[in-house]
Amino acid sequence: MLTKTLTVALVGNPNAGKSTLFNALSGLRQRVGNYPGVTVEMKKGQFTAGGVAIDLIDLPGTYSLAARSPDEMVAVDLLLGRRPEEPRPDVVLSIVDATNLDRHLYLTSQLLDLGEPVVVAVNMIDAAAAQGVKIDCTALSAQLGVAVVPIQANKGIGVEALTRAVLDAAESGKAPAGPKFPAAFDAEAERLQADLGGDVPEFLTRRVLLDVGGYVEQWLVEKHGAGLKQKLTDARQRLADANCGVPGVEARSRFAWVKAAVTAAVSRPAERPVTFTDKLDKVLTHRVWGTLVFLVVMFLMFQSIYLWAKPLMDAIDGTRESAAKLIESHMDQGPLRSLVADGVIKGVGSVLIFLPQIMILFGFIAFLEDCGYMARAAFLMDRLMSRCGLSGKSFIPLLSSVACAIPGIMATRVIENRRDRLATILVAPLMSCSARLPVYVLLIGAFLKDGYPAWLPGLVLFGLYMIGFTVAPLVALVLKRSLLRGAAPVFVMELPAYRRPKLGAVLRRMTEAGWAFTLRAGTIIFAAMVLVWALLYFPHTDPSGRSYPTRIEEAETAAKESEEKLKELKEKPDATEEDKAELEKLEAAAGEADKLNGEWKRQSLLGRAGLFMEPVFKPLGWDWKVGMAALASFPAREVIVGTLGLIYDVGDVDSGAIGDDEADDDAKAKATGLATAVKDDWAKDPVRGKYGVAVAASVMVFFALCCQCASTLAVIRRETRSWAWPAFTFAYMTALAYFGAFVTFQIGSLITDALR
Amino acid sequence: MLMPLDMLRTGEVAEVEEVSGQPAWVGRLAELGIRQGSRVRVVQSGTPCLLDVNGCKLCLRGGECSQILVRPVA
């Protein structure tokens, strides 16, 4: 009887049904394990079987154990017990697809070389039977030398027998032997093993010989010096001379072994029947019909994200507002109240507001992936994406970024190639996200509405979106040619058979994405929001030492008190001179709070930084007000509308009210007021009065290209596990934005001069 | 007659004779079942193309297909 906890590693090809089996075995007790320095995550689940506690580790789907990158090496190291975080697995559970045994058993044959007990689960036995494929598991077990259990993971059939087989394998502890390699290869491996010494497992010694330029080779050459490289070259040359050159020798040896096993245990109909998948693919991968279906699917997906997320986002926003109001009415005025209401609650709100979009998008992605459509979409889009050095798999992440870069960046997890994935992550924030829209609408409304043809605002808006659509692929191309240059990525993708997705699995993916975002990115976003709050709050006393918040409160109280009087005076039919003077005074008092707020923000740390940096903004045609608003909006670009409102003394403008016909009248009036205030203010200034349109265009181009979103940077940090990539994204996008705004203003002002 | 895989038309079947190129790429294709002696059927030609290898659909680009030499099977 076993008493200790068993560690079982679950390994299989992508699409073998690994996650389904993992969920069937471990139920709800799952957690995600992270490994330093790599971007892979492995799920871990716990369950008990026959009184034994079992730790199940779900390794990322792979076609072989030939590691090409640090990410792939994690799985190999874990299987060999070389990761300090995890014990060496007691049993390796190899899951294979019954409809595609030949290929899946290749990985199994590598697992047999690990020197650990192996159990094989033959999944989708029903689908194989439907195709007329009969598998004799007893015969297969005799051929492979390990237990073979037929299962249907999606229905939980055979799972009990499988756990029993795992327990038996652990108890016997018998390690199977994999396929035999030619004697010449074994001799070379022994020779190399003697050179490397005992700290390199035999499994890795054989791999380093087989995987030319693979990760094991890079790692060992770094450790043992260039001498090893020469030894490897010599050994491989000798193997080639002996007619068993790498990597061919591995494929030949293993597939011969697989073929022998399959011939003995599997009977197939002479003619493969045309499956449902084949019929469906006739339409879905068709260049014309398939593309049409794809466009409809994408349209429906984004339409639903927009429609379903909107009420939820509004609800979150409403809760945030009322929570802030509640705090304001129950706490004494002071820095602490402001921190809680403006910093903490707004910070938490700005994290949670992204949740509906992220979860809905991930629901769609999980559904499309699980049913097998995602690979077809990538196939259709590959031709387009290959022009900018990416693959079809980058299409959906980039398209999602039009709604919001955060779910888009999280969606890049479907891209296996590390360089492709990085390039996609780095350009995703260039796609024009929904948070840029209020900025565009505000500036277009202020400068391009009156006195211009009616089609111009729409055209400018279209142009701004096109900036993102054209610059992103160009930057991707440049990145792939420079920083992320490397051997052309091997683009080969499997199109799995269509399957009915499971609701539970889709919901699980949605909640996982939601948690991952809230917990790990949320903390960073939250910190950034609090920082900007502090920069706008301090110092909070005027030159005479009185506190601004107190003065604003007093002004607000005064305005409220005189509200009745003001209304009365306004409606008075026969107003005297005295009344008019009184009215003016009262109106001024009503605007006093907004004016004070503006004065406070101007002398805050951020306001001073804006003034100090005015020379930097000058070539863009900006004054310090625009510059400061742009600075304040670096953590979240939609902040610019509110900040502009403060700076131009209109009060706190709700960015959601811009262009929203359903917003309440007060919010709408304030939004329109801001556009008018900006316009009036610029009219008084020599530069902005003359070149108003050029300045507005320069601001819009800056916002189109700049990475003003702490959340995006936090997600990039989370997905790449490094601070270098978010820093790089921020730097290149800011430089690009500055340059773009500079060119826009300079050309715009030249055109303005020429037209005059 | 030997020819690169991208010369095959939709529906044609061929036997793989040789896969050239970088070892990592050759190795990856072998793992997926495209290696000397295996049979492929072109489901959809062009780039990227769709191949049927042992009942499993794979998608490859034209440039990569040209590195795979095949012998058409009547």
pLDDT digits (tens, 9 = 90+) for A406-422: 878 888 877 777 888 89
Coil/strand/helix, residue A649:
coil
Provide, as residue numbers in chain A, all residues whose Cβ is less than 8 Å from the Cβ of B50: 281, 285, 379, 495
Residue in this structure with the two tokens 């409102």, named with its chain if needed: A645
Residue, of A702 and B62, whose pLDDT is higher: A702
**Residues contacting residue A684 through CB under 8 Å, at least 6 positions apart:** none
Residue, of A215 and B24, whose pLDDT is higher: A215
Mean pLDDT of A17-24: 88
One-letter identity of residue A493: M
pLDDT at A95: 96
Distance CA A379, CA B58 (A): 10
Q: Would you call B26 and A246 a contact, using CB atoms and an 8 Å cutoff?
A: no
Surface-to-core class of residue A172, CB atoms within 10 Å of its CB (0-12 exposed, 13-18 middle, 19+ buried) = exposed
What is the number of CB-based contacts under 8 A between chain A and chain B? 105
**A612: phi then psi, degrees, rounded to nearest 5:** -65, -35
pLDDT digits (tens, 9 = 90+) for A310-324: 788 888 888 888 888
pLDDT at A480: 87
Q: Would you call B28 and A285 a contact, using CB atoms and an 8 Å cutoff?
A: no
Distance CA A369, CA A377 (A): 10
Q: Would you call A490 and B64 a contact, using CB atoms and an 8 Å cutoff?
A: yes
Q: Is the pLDDT of residue B12 over 80?
A: yes
Instruction: Check CB contact of B64 with chain A, cutoff 8 Å.
Output: yes
pLDDT at A331: 78
Q: Would you call A64 and B27 a contact, using CB atoms and an 8 Å cutoff?
A: yes
Residue in this structure with the two tokens 């409160």, named with its chain if needed: A553
One-letter identity of residue A10: L
pLDDT digits (tens, 9 = 90+) for A458-497: 888 888 888 988 899 999 999 988 888 876 666 788 888 8
Q: In which band, very low, low, confident or very high, does the pLDDT at A662 lie, cut at 50, 70 and 90? A: low
Least confident range of A238-242, A683-687, A726-730: A683-687
Q: b/e map of A616-646 (b: 16 or more CB within 10 Å)?
A: ebeebbbbbbbbbbbbbbbbbbbbbbbbbbb
Q: From residue A720, how far is each of A38, A351, A519 by CA, in Å?
A: 8, 20, 16
Q: Is there a contact between A214 and A487 (Cβ–Cβ < 8 Å)?
A: no
Q: Would you call B32 and A492 a contact, using CB atoms and an 8 Å cutoff?
A: yes
Coil/strand/helix, residue B27:
helix
Q: A238: which strand partners?
A: none
Strand stretches in A377-432, DSSP E:
none
Q: In which band, very low, low, confident or very high, does the pLDDT at A653 lie, cut at 50, 70 and 90? A: low
Q: Is the pLDDT of residue A657 over 70?
A: no
Instruction: Check CB contact of B30 with chain A, cutoff 8 Å.
Output: yes
Q: Which residue of A has its CA nearest to B29?
A: A492
Distance CA A537, CA B58 (A): 59
Strand stretches in A264-322, DSSP E:
266-267
What crossing angle do the helices spanning A624-632 and A639-647 adopt, rounded to 10°? 140
pLDDT at A243: 86
Distance CA A291, CA A383 (A): 12
Q: Would you call A246 and B23 a contact, using CB atoms and an 8 Å cutoff?
A: yes
Own/partner contacts of A371-374, CB < 8 Å, gap of 24 or more, are A371/A498, A371/A499, A371/A500, A371/A501, A372/A15, A372/A277, A372/A495, A372/A496, A372/A497, A372/A498, A372/A499, A373/A284, A373/A297, A373/A498, A374/A414
Q: Would you call A491 and B30 a contact, using CB atoms and an 8 Å cutoff?
A: no
Pairing state between β A134-135 and A41-49: unpaired
What's the token pair of residue B49?
A: 């193309």
Q: Is there a contact between A593 and A646 (Cβ–Cβ < 8 Å)?
A: no
Distance CA A250, CA A246 (A): 7
pLDDT digits (tens, 9 = 90+) for A555-579: 777 777 777 777 777 777 776 777 7
Residue, of A22 and A633, whose pLDDT is higher: A22
Instruction: Check CB contact of B13 with chain A, cutoff 8 Å.
Output: no
User: Both ends of chain A: CA-CA distance in Å?
Assistant: 94
Q: Which residue of A64, A100, A107, A492 is the best one to mutate when testing the B interface, meaning the one whose CB has the most B CBs within 10 A?
A: A492
B52 CA to chain A: closest CA distance, Å? 10
Instruction: Check CB contact of B8 with chain A, cutoff 8 Å.
Output: no
Q: Is the pLDDT of residue A695 over 90?
A: no
Other beta carbons within 10 Å of A676? 13
Residue, of A655 and A419, whose pLDDT is higher: A419
Distance CA A375, CA A334 (A): 56
What's the token pair of residue B35?
A: 């290696």
Distance CA A311, CA B67 (A): 53
Predicted ipTM of the assembly: 0.92
Instruction: Check CB contact of B71 with chain A, cutoff 8 Å.
Output: no
Sheet holding B56-60, edge to edge: A492-495, B56-60, B49-53, B39-44, B13-19, B68-73, B3-4
Provide, as residue numbers in chain B, all residues whose Cβ is less than 8 Å from the Cβ of A279: none
Q: In which band, very low, low, confident or very high, does the pLDDT at A38 lie, cut at 50, 70 and 90? A: low
pLDDT at A97: 93
Own/partner contacts of A446-453, CB < 8 Å, gap of 24 or more, are A446/A675, A446/A676, A446/A678, A446/A679, A446/A696, A447/A679, A447/A692, A447/A693, A447/A696, A448/A693, A448/A696
A interface with B, Cβ–Cβ below 8 Å: 63-64, 66, 68, 99-100, 102-103, 106-107, 131, 210-214, 246-248, 250-252, 255, 272, 277, 281, 285, 287, 375, 378-379, 382-383, 386, 392, 487, 490-496
Q: Would you call A248 and B35 a contact, using CB atoms and an 8 Å cutoff?
A: yes
pLDDT at A679: 77
Surface-to-core class of residue A534, CB atoms within 10 Å of its CB (0-12 exposed, 13-18 middle, 19+ buried) = middle
Q: Is the pLDDT of residue B68 over 80?
A: yes
Other beta carbons within 10 Å of A721? 14
Q: What is the mean pLDDT of chain A?
A: 83
Q: Is the pLDDT of residue A647 over 70?
A: no
Provide, as residue numbers in chain B, all residues whose Cβ is less than 8 Å from the Cβ of A212: 23-24, 27
Instruction: Check CB contact of B50 with chain A, cutoff 8 Å.
Output: yes
Closest CA to A634 of A671, A676, A669, A606: A606
Residue A75: which H helix or E strand, with range?
helix A70-79
Q: In which band, very low, low, confident or very high, does the pLDDT at B40 lie, cut at 50, 70 and 90? A: very high
Q: Is the pLDDT of residue A273 over 70?
A: yes
Mean pLDDT of A111-125: 94
Q: Which residue of B has its CA nearest to A215?
A: B24
pLDDT at A212: 85
Q: Which residue of B31, B45, B58 is the best one to mutate when testing the A interface, meaning the one whose CB has the most A CBs within 10 A?
A: B31
